[in-house]
Amino acid sequence: MKTLNVDLNERSYPIYIGQNLLSRADLLTPHIASRQVMIVTNETVAPLYLEQVRQLLTPFEVHQVILPDGERYKNLDVLNRIFDALLQERCDRQCTLIALGGGVIGDTAGFAAACFQRGIPFIQIPTTLLSQVDSSVGGKTAVNHPHGKNMIGAFYQPRCVIADTNTLNTLDDRQLHSGLAEVIKYGLIIDGDFFAWLEDNMPAILARDPAALQTVITRSCQNKADVVAMDEYEGGVRALLNLGHTFGHAIETHTGYESWLHGEAVATGMLMAADLSARLGWIDDSAVQRTQRLLQQAKLPDSPPEDMTSADFLQHMAVDKKVQNNQIRLILLKAIGKSVVTADFDPNCFKDTLGAFTHQSD
Amino acid sequence: MKTLNVDLNERSYPIYIGQNLLSRADLLTPHIASRQVMIVTNETVAPLYLEQVRQLLTPFEVHQVILPDGERYKNLDVLNRIFDALLQERCDRQCTLIALGGGVIGDTAGFAAACFQRGIPFIQIPTTLLSQVDSSVGGKTAVNHPHGKNMIGAFYQPRCVIADTNTLNTLDDRQLHSGLAEVIKYGLIIDGDFFAWLEDNMPAILARDPAALQTVITRSCQNKADVVAMDEYEGGVRALLNLGHTFGHAIETHTGYESWLHGEAVATGMLMAADLSARLGWIDDSAVQRTQRLLQQAKLPDSPPEDMTSADFLQHMAVDKKVQNNQIRLILLKAIGKSVVTADFDPNCFKDTLGAFTHQSD
């Protein structure tokens, strides 16, 4: 097992990464604040792991709420079902909320923990690659609004994160691939050596080799923890973690958060960001090709939906959180392993990128 | 004009208190973060002050959302109307949200500012006595849930508070009296001299003498700011500000947040807390009588609704946020001007207080 520390002063917390961690009461129970525990999970994860987690908590008063599975349930109505459960069970301000599941569960349950009675203790047990390498680390919580993704949320740090790599054995291939998009992202934005390691080790990762997966998760979490420690509330450098996300959110909004997984949209978005960086002369074409090749190795899509136009992108990108004063700010590459946040780029190159990745005229 | 500072390190902010402040662009505009402004107000306040505030903001892109007036609209559905407006107007993360109105507007709009894109700049312009002396100071924001008051919220500090005493001239008498409950509270919990000053000056206050009102607001805000600076997230001493609120919330829940105003419920709750303190031998009967007399001078109720039983109190108090591990923690008095948070009191005295203030048996 590896233990990483996210360094945020009085909000610092450990991330435990390794095999068989869901049988380790000694990791979980020291972070429970009081007598009451509320586990939030979904219909897919509950049959697999809920009982195992409950076994660790026999000394406590344990309640549970099982939500439907899917990004389309990451909304205010489903959030309210968590509040209903907390109030029905008369949970107080010391009740510890545990998110057991993927990114949607972590984001929704984390926001519920942030808001309920203005904040109750919170623990993340991520069960997908995406949530283990990204959404469970750093304290961003949110739900979607019909007009935009993650529009309503809070910065709220967990007391600990327990990433059991065994849970990835029950993950379907497409979810695994989707999670690899965020992994590749760390290589692109700040860790060129990790990018090269991924190029060499993708076959072992796809075969779910435990040692390879532990390295993937540990290195990803370390990169993310470093960035978050520098900039908890995304005033500056933390925005680099959004590489590919502005393009990606446009794809997700266009497709109604349904047919495309988050990582798939981010993968295509990262390639679009790389393409734009090359058009600006900031990276050379070989860097774009390496990016495309690694995404393909990870079985991720490298072009937007067929029916999506440049106008669709422009419309959906304008309400993205990365927009300030109506200027589109993007994360772009200066090299593999080096990135910048900027609104200072030639808009014609931006249009050319949109044109190159879409079919229909606008 | 008086300026107080709420001392919360990087979240510190000024409170401006005085006459004619709604014509002072120089107070407001330095706290606007960017081009966009969203004013949140209600149907009662909008015809009185919205145009005046908009006049101060001519250089900005100003949007507005006008909500229905009343505590029953302090809920997730109405909160969502603020999000809808922000997204429809394509407001970004630098948009400044201004709450123009009483406590319900401040609490709801403040929570919207805390959540929208995980936090946007926020300014309070309170227009009622209650919001000027209490809810606009200290960063507590929230909406109600059908199962409990202020159950969903955040700690989120404004950039400034502008309390124009002129706005109290349009306040109806009952709202003025309701606000005085929180004023009297500061005297009871930490400021015995202020309590004595209120005993002497209540006629001038009820006559809305501007100098008396400015003293009332300044001294109340100073007391609150001192407590909040010691304990921003209510880990300890801040709970003293809840004197009377646990009893009071039970009354508000019982009456459906409709027929009783918040301050009226708190007033009765404070007298119940004083009564219990006397039964415990912590204060003498004359302190209870002074409390009751000052509440009566301020034209506030001193007994719960006729139909409310001890059992009603017990049921509603058990889901109050001041409950930890099923023990009821209350704010009780050690003197006029001195209070404690405690769960360590004789439950028989507690039952006797409930019995003395209710008519029906349980």
- Indicate if the pLDDT at residue A321 is higher than 70: no
| CA dist., res. B120 & res. A321, Å (int) | 11
Separation between Cα atoms, residue A249 and residue A230, nearest integer Å: 25
Domain boundary pick from B136, B170, B204: B170
The answer to whether position B278 is within a domain reads yes
Answer whether residue B266 is part of any domain: yes
CATH code, A83? 3.40.50.1970
Q: What is the arithmetic mean of pLDDT over A249-272?
A: 92
Q: Which of A75, A94, A96, A115 to mutate to test the interface with B (most CBs of B within 10 A)?
A: A115
Residue B114 sits in the same domain as residue B226: no
Query: Lowest-pLDDT range, A320-324, A356-360, B112-116?
Result: A320-324
Structure tokens at A70: 């899917």
Confidence (pLDDT) at A325: 61
Residue A349 covered by a domain = yes
**Sequence-separated (6 or more) residues with CB below 8 Å from residue A146:** none
Query: Which of residues 198 through 237 in chain B touch A, CB cutoff 8 A?
Result: 233-234
Q: Which residue from B80, B90, B153 is facing A115, i.e. has the nearest CB?
A: B153
Extract the tokens encoding B319.
């889901």
Q: What is the CATH number of the domain that holds A200?
A: 1.20.1090.10
Question: Number of Cβ pairs closer than 8 Å across A and B?
Answer: 93
| Contacts of A295 by beta carbon, 8 Å cutoff, 6+ apart | A181, A184, A267, A270, A271, A301, A302
B66-90 pLDDT, tens digit each: 999 988 899 999 999 999 999 999 9
pLDDT (0 to 100) of residue A320: 63
Q: What integer pLDDT is reported at residue B71 of this predicted model? A: 86
Within-domain flag for B178? yes
Same domain? For B129 and B232 the reply is no
* A9 in contact with chain B, both atoms CB, cutoff 8 A: no
Q: How far apart, in Å, are the Cα atoms of A277 and each of A267, A298, A337?
A: 15, 22, 13
Higher confidence at residue A324 or residue B146? B146
| Beta carbons of A289 and A232 less than 8 angstroms apart | no
Examine residue A114 and state whether it is found in any structural domain, yes or no. Answer: yes
What is the band of A236 on the pLDDT scale with cuts at 50, 70, 90?
confident
Q: Look at residues B234, B232, B108, B339 and name the one whose alpha carbon lies nearest to residue A94.
A: B234
pLDDT at position A349: 95
CB contact under 8 A, B325 and A88: no
Mean pLDDT of chain A: 94
Specify whether the CB–CB gap between A75 and B76 falls below 8 A: no
pLDDT at B157 over 70: yes
Q: Is residue B112 part of a domain?
A: yes
Q: What gap in Å lies between CA A154 and CA A231, rounded to an integer?
A: 15
**Is the pLDDT at B357 greater than 60, yes or no?**
yes
Of chain B, the percentage scoring pLDDT greater than 70 comes to: 97
Residue B321 has pLDDT above 70, yes or no: no
> Considering only CB atoms, which chain B residues are within 8 Å of A115?
115, 152-154
Containing B343, the helix (H) or strand (E) segment is none
State how far the Cα of A215 lies from the Cα of A3, in Å rounded to an integer: 12
Q: Which residues of B are catalytic?
A: 118, 140, 182, 224, 234, 238, 242, 245, 249, 262
Residue B295 structure tokens: 């509440």
pLDDT beyond 70 at A329 = yes
What number of helices (H) and strands (E) belong to chain B?
A: 13, 13
Q: pLDDT grade, residue B322 (50/70/90)?
A: low
Residue that finishes a domain, picked among A170, A203, A229: A170
Same domain for A129 and A192?
A: no
For residues B147 and B188, membership in a common domain is answered with no
Q: Is A114 left (phi over 0), alpha (psi -120 to 50) or beta?
A: alpha
| Residue B179, CB-side half-sphere exposure with 13 Å CA sphere | 29
Q: What pLDDT does residue B328 have?
A: 86
How many domains does chain A contain in total?
2
- Please indicate, yes or no, whether residues A118 and A255 belong to a single structural domain of this protein: no
State the pairing for strand pair A323-324/A148-155: unpaired
Q: Could you tell me which residue, A257 or A147, shows the higher pLDDT?
A: A147
**HSE of B263, CA atoms in CB hemisphere, 13 A:** 27
Confidence of residue B320 (pLDDT cuts 50, 70, 90): low
Average confidence (pLDDT) over B6-26: 94
Average of per-residue pLDDT across B353-357: 97
Same domain for B178 and B142: no
Residue A186's pLDDT is 97
Partner-chain contact B116 A321, CB within 8 Å: no
Q: Which of A142, A77, A133 is nearest to A115 (CA)?
A: A142
Which residues are bridge partners to A4 per DSSP? A15
Task: Look at residue A319 in the predicted model and tell me its pLDDT.
Answer: 64
Residue A238 has pLDDT above 70, yes or no: yes
The closest CB to that of B325, out of A35, A114, A323, belongs to: A35
Tokens of A48: 């697999």
Q: Looking at the structure, do residues A85 and A214 belong to the same domain, yes or no?
A: no
* Average pLDDT over chain B, rounded to an integer: 94
pTM: 0.89
| pLDDT classification of B236: cutoffs 50, 70, 90 | confident
pLDDT at B312 over 60: yes
- Determine, for residues B93 and A324 on separate chains, whether the beta-carbon distance falls below 8 Å: yes
pLDDT score for B276: 98
What is the distance in angstroms between the Cα of A87 and the nearest Cα belonging to chain B? 7
For A89-130, write each residue's pLDDT tens digit: 999 999 999 999 999 999 999 999 999 999 999 999 999 999
Distance CA B121, CA B268 (A): 36
Does A92 contact B at CB distance below 8 Å? yes
Q: How far is CA B194 from CA A133, B212, B219, in A?
A: 56, 12, 8
Q: At what angle do helices B262-279 and B347-357 cross, to 10 degrees?
A: 130
Distance from C-alpha of B165 to C-alpha of B158, rounded to nearest angstrom? 19
Asked if the structure places residue B362 within a domain, the reply is no
Q: Is A244 helix (H, G, I), strand (E, B) or coil?
A: coil
- Other CB atoms within 10 Å distance of the CB of residue A299: 16
Considering only residues 312 to 351 of chain B, which have any Cβ-Cβ distance to chain A shorter than 8 Å?
318-319, 321, 323-326
Q: Which residue, among B11, B61, B80, B92, would best test binding to A if mutated, counting the most A CBs under 10 Å from its CB?
A: B92
Give the position of tokens 């532990």.
Answer: A214
Name every chain A residue with its beta carbon within 8 A of the beta carbon of B59: none
Of B88, B93, B321, the CB nearest to A117: B321
Residues B161 and B49 in one domain: yes
**Together in a domain, A289 and A234:** yes
**Sign for the pseudo-dihedral over CA of B279, B285, B287, B292:** positive
Rounded CA-CA distance B48/B172 in Å is 13
Mean pLDDT of B196-219: 96
Average pLDDT estimate for B246-257: 90
Boundary of a domain, candidates A122, A155, A170: A170
**Beta strand residue intervals within chain A, DSSP E:** 2-6, 13-18, 36-42, 61-67, 96-101, 122-126, 140-145, 148-155, 160-164, 323-324, 327-328, 330-335, 338-342
Q: Are residues B159 and B44 in the same domain?
A: yes
Q: Let me know if residue A362 belongs to a domain.
A: no
Query: What's B116's DSSP letter?
Result: B
| Distance, C-alpha B226 to centroid of its chain | 16
Q: Among all residues of A, which ones are annotated catalytic?
A: 118, 140, 182, 224, 234, 238, 242, 245, 249, 262
Q: Round the CA-based radius of gyration of chain A to a whole number and report it.
A: 20
Quick one: CA dihedral B298, B303, B305, B310, positive or negative?
positive
Q: In this predicted structure, which of A251-265, B8-22, B153-167, B277-291 has the lowest mean pLDDT?
A: A251-265
The Cα–Cα gap between B81 and B112 comes to: 10
Residue A186 is inside which H or E element, if any? helix A173-190
User: Which of B118, B141, B253, B320 should be substituted to probe chain A, the one whose Cβ sees the most A Cβ atoms within 10 Å?
Assistant: B118
Q: Check residue B323 and give its pLDDT.
A: 63
At residue A310, the pLDDT reads: 94
What is residue A362's predicted lDDT score, i.e. its pLDDT?
Answer: 44
Same domain, A256 and A271: yes
In terms of domains, do B128 and B208 share one? no
- Cβ-based neighbour number of residue A59 at 10 Å: 11
- ipTM for the assembly: 0.88
Q: Is A119 on the interface with B (CB under 8 A)?
A: yes
Q: Does A155 touch chain B (CB under 8 A)?
A: yes
**A26 or A253, which is more confident:** A26
Rounded distance between C-alpha atoms, residue A187 and residue A183, angstroms = 7
Give residue A122's domain range: 2-170
Name residues whose C-beta falls within 8 Å of residue A76's C-beta, 6 or more positions apart in sequence. Answer: A143, A145, A152, B76, B80
Separation of CA A312 from chain center: 24
pLDDT surpassing 50 at residue B65: yes
Closest approach of chain B CAs to the CA of A231, in angstroms?
Answer: 14
Top residue of A118, A143, A228, A242 to mutate, by most chain B CBs within 10 Å, is A118
> Which chain A residue has the Cα nearest residue B75?
A80
Cβ-defined contact of B151 to A80 (cutoff 8 Å): no
State residue B327's pLDDT score.
77
Q: Give me the pLDDT at residue A235, please.
A: 80
pLDDT above 80: residue B362:
no
